[in-house]
Amino acid sequence: MNNVECNSSKIGVLLVNLGTPEGTDYWSIRRYLSQFLSDKRVIELSSFLWQPILQGFVLTFRPRRLGRSYSRIWDKKYNKSPLAVITQSQAEALQIDLNKQNICIEWAMRYGKPSIEQKIEFLQQQGCDRILLMPLYPQYSATTTATVNDEAFRVLMKKRIQPALRTLYSFADHPDYIHALHQTIQTHLDKLSTPPDRILLSFHGLPIRYVNAGDPYEQECQKTAVALRKKMGKSKEYMPLVYQSRFGPDKWLGPNIADVIKEYPKQNIRNIAVIAPGFMADCLETKEEIDHEYRETFLGEGGEGFTYIPCLNDHPLALELLKKIINQEIQGWI
What is the C-alpha to C-alpha distance for residues 122 and 43, in angstroms, rounded to an integer? 30
Phi first, then psi, for residue 157 (nearest 5°) are -55, -25
The torsion angles phi and psi of 138, rounded to 5 degrees, stand at -60, -30
Mapped onto helix, strand or coil, the DSSP state of residue 133 is strand
DSSP string, 242-287: EEE---SSS-B-SSBHHHHHHHGGGGT--EEEEE-TT-SS--IIII
Rule CB under 5 A: say whether 289 interacts with Fe ion: yes
Task: Pick the closer one to ligand L6N33NVT by CB: 261 or 284.
Answer: 284
Secondary element (H or E) of residue 109? strand 103-112
Total residues found in the chain within this entry? 334
User: Which residues are within 8 A (CB) of 225 and not within 5 positions of it... i.e. 6 or more apart?
Assistant: 201, 236, 239, 241, 277
- Closer CB to Fe ion, 131 or 276, in the complex: 276
137 binds, among ligand L6N33NVT, Fe ion, none (CB under 5 to 8 A by kind): ligand L6N33NVT
Residue 224 interacts with, from ligand L6N33NVT, Fe ion, none (CB under 5-8 Å by kind) = none
Is 285 part of any known ligand binding site? Answer: yes
Strand pairing report for 130-135 and 164-167 = parallel
Q: Residue 158 CB, nearest distance to Fe ion (Å)?
A: 28
Least distance from C-beta 103 to ligand L6N33NVT, angstroms? 25
Distance CA 145, CA 5 (A): 29
Residue 188 annotated as lining a ligand binding site: no
Output the smallest distance, CB 234 to ligand L6N33NVT, in A. Answer: 24
Binding string, 242-281, against Fe ion, x = CB under 5 A? ---x------------------------------------
Question: Considering CB distances under 5 to 8 angstroms, the limit depending on partner class, which of Fe ion, ligand L6N33NVT, none binds residue 141?
Answer: ligand L6N33NVT
Nearer to ligand L6N33NVT, 69 or 271 (CB): 69
**Cβ at position 247, least distance to ligand L6N33NVT in Å:** 4
Which residues are annotated binding-site positions?
204, 285
- Residues near Fe ion (CB under 5 A): 245, 285, 289
Query: Which residues carry a binding-site annotation for Fe(2+)?
Result: 204, 285
